[in-house]
Amino acid sequence: AAMGHAMSAPGATSAAALPPLPAGEHLPALPRLSNETLDAGRFQASLVAAPLVTALWGDARQTTFWAYNGSLPGPLIELWEGDSVDIAFANQLPQPTTIHWHGMPVPPEQDGNPQAPVASGAQRQYRFTLPAGCAGSYWYHPHPHGHTAEQAFRGLAGAVIVRSKADPLRHLPEQHLLLSDLKLDADGQVAANDMADLHDGREGQYVLINGAWQPMIPLAQGERQRWRIWNATSSRIFKLALPAHDMLLVGSDGGLLEQGQPIDSLLLPPGARAELVVTGRFRDGVTAGLISQPYRRGKMMHPEQERDEVLAGIMPHGMRPTQALPARLRPLAPLAEPGFRRRIVLSENMADPKAMFLINGRSYDMNRIDGTGKVGRIEEWEVQGNAHMDHPFHLHGTQFQVLARTVDGVWEDEPFLAWRDVVNVAANESVRLRFVQQQPGLRMFHCHILEHEDQGMMAQIDFLTE
């Protein structure tokens, strides 16, 4: 394939040195999960989680993954606001699993909580109805007790898009970029986590986009494209940039912003999504594609990514007139004064290898309820990173608005409103956020570095109807 620039070598990690994967292919489209019914307002489909053997280098070497419907990543699920969704799930893995609908407003008993495992060889239905106003970019991944990281890094993750009939950007061509991380051992098999992974979060040799290493994305001079980006890695905090081209942030985890925000780089923690409008601006001599810039996540981290890492190339694709953008994307209302406040402290205790990552001083216990809340009541949380490293904070079942965060110890208001379900809580910083849970039941919140979550950096609140 024609490469506009030299691609970098696989990233330096604790992982084995391996030859580069084939690079430079056209960005693969995510396969779509097909709807088995023609009934309006319904989506009915089947997902199977099972081992999958592939030849990554296209030669005799075979690597075993775990995959949804035999695809890496899993198929894209495209839904509409108001849809009633019915997914038949079969677990053909050698261990129990669940499907968690990350970020989506689904009832707790349908949300793949660790309390509702699907045994090896068993099946279940996941059923929920999507409320109005929830259009956005979500994803699905396993959430079984203690094995979320392992099942996700073996390949189990897929994208969900919920669309709105009133989408102001529907005229733009769309690209989907699901970022995952692949760590192989010296035999070319998916590596087990080592001590460094358990501590710092797993980082592999290869960042894949839609399962491909360093693919090429076609973009025309002047063309506007809508990019939806998913960070489905275990632990990478990406600082994404597109040096030559214009980036406008138009959406966060829970859908569109009020107005596009011009940005030079995008900090995307694990679990988070973003929507960009990218405009092709080819300038002489600037060839870098989509890159990940160095970001220091905490003071004691190793090994730091020291230089820009190329994640994808941009393939010049002629010239296209620039499509107009609406000035306002949608109205967003700030959540009112809270009826309840909580303080959530994220901390590390390196002296205790059995309880290293804590929330409010405790390690997750599936059978302990850490608090109760009320459906329909606005809560304000101050999440404190009393920690040496960054911990991307995630809450199930709803979207929140970040009000302010500390930067070098000083509170700074968020510059614009956005619906999110993941926010990076930097080392020794705090974040203030508000949300409402609209459905009763048990909701987890946790660090989305999946190794930390599995080691207990998770808690749960039972939301009750009055």
User: What single DSSP character describes residue 141?
Assistant: E
Closer to ligand C2O by Cβ: residue 276 or 459? 459
Closer to Cu ion by Cβ: residue 196 or 263? 196
Closer to Cu ion by Cβ: residue 15 or 422? 422
Interaction between residue 273 and Cu ion (CB under 5 A): no
Shortest spacing between CB 458 and ligand C2O, in angstroms: 7
Give which of Cu ion, ligand C2O, none residue 446 binds (C-beta under 5 to 8 Å, depending on kind): ligand C2O
Give which of Cu ion, ligand C2O, none residue 152 binds (C-beta under 5 to 8 Å, depending on kind): none
Closer to ligand C2O by Cβ: residue 213 or 230? 230
Interaction between residue 359 and Cu ion (CB under 5 A): no
Choose the binding region for Cu ion from 220-228, 333-341, 425-433, 446-454 (rule: CB under 5 A).
Answer: 446-454
Shortest spacing between CB 229 and ligand C2O, in angstroms: 15
Give which of ligand C2O, Cu ion, none residue 444 binds (C-beta under 5 to 8 Å, depending on kind): ligand C2O
d(CA 121, CA 74): 19
d(CA 435, CA 413): 17
d(CA 286, CA 244): 6
Closer to ligand C2O by Cβ: residue 102 or 183? 102
Supply 418's token pair.
């956005």
Closer to Cu ion by Cβ: residue 98 or 175? 98
CB atoms within 10 A of CB 192: 11
Closer to ligand C2O by Cβ: residue 220 or 447? 447
Shortest spacing between CB 303 and Cu ion, in angstroms: 18
Element at 200 (helix H, strand E): helix 195-200
Of 230, 245, 323, the closest CA to residue 279 belongs to 245
User: What single DSSP character describes residue 201?
Assistant: -
Shortest spacing between CB 336 and Cu ion, in angstroms: 25
> Would you give the binding string for Cu ion spanning residues 52-91, x where CB under 5 A is met?
----------------------------------------
Give which of Cu ion, ligand C2O, none residue 391 binds (C-beta under 5 to 8 Å, depending on kind): Cu ion
Residue 374 to residues 25, 113, 390, Cα–Cα distance (Å): 50, 19, 29
- Residue 207, strand partner residues: 181
Q: CB neighbours of 341 closer than 8 A, spacing ≥ 6?
A: 379, 380, 381, 382
d(CA 216, CA 75): 20
Half-sphere exposure of 318 (CA within 13 A, CB side): 2
Closer to ligand C2O by Cβ: residue 49 or 314? 49
> Would you give the binding string for Cu ion spanning residues 377-396, x where CB under 5 A is met?
--------------x----x
Handedness of CA 126, 159, 267, 237 (dihedral sign): positive
d(CA 442, CA 115): 10
Shortest spacing between CB 204 and Cu ion, in angstroms: 18
Interaction between residue 447 and Cu ion (CB under 5 A): yes
Query: Do 286 and 272 contact (CB within 8 A), yes or no?
Result: no
Give which of ligand C2O, Cu ion, none residue 447 binds (C-beta under 5 to 8 Å, depending on kind): Cu ion
Residue 163 to residues 85, 131, 361, 398, Cα–Cα distance (Å): 14, 12, 40, 17
Closer to ligand C2O by Cβ: residue 420 or 446? 446
By CB under 5 A, the residues from 92 to 121 that bind Cu ion are 102
Give which of Cu ion, ligand C2O, none residue 124 binds (C-beta under 5 to 8 Å, depending on kind): none
Of 277, 181, 263, 268, the closest CA to residue 230 belongs to 268
Shortest spacing between CB 445 and ligand C2O, in angstroms: 8
Classify 412 as helix, strand or coil.
Answer: strand
Interaction between residue 449 and Cu ion (CB under 5 A): yes
Locus of tokens 């699993």: 97
Shortest spacing between CB 373 and Cu ion, in angstroms: 17
d(CA 157, CA 75): 9
d(CA 269, CA 295): 11
Give which of Cu ion, ligand C2O, none residue 143 binds (C-beta under 5 to 8 Å, depending on kind): ligand C2O
Locus of tokens 């995630």: 394
d(CA 379, CA 177): 33
Give which of ligand C2O, Cu ion, none residue 202 binds (C-beta under 5 to 8 Å, depending on kind): none
Binding site for ligand C2O (CB under 6 A): 100, 102, 141, 143, 271, 394, 396, 444, 446, 448
Closer to ligand C2O by Cβ: residue 184 or 447? 447
Residues contributing to the site for Cu ion (CB under 5 A): 102, 391, 396, 447, 449, 452
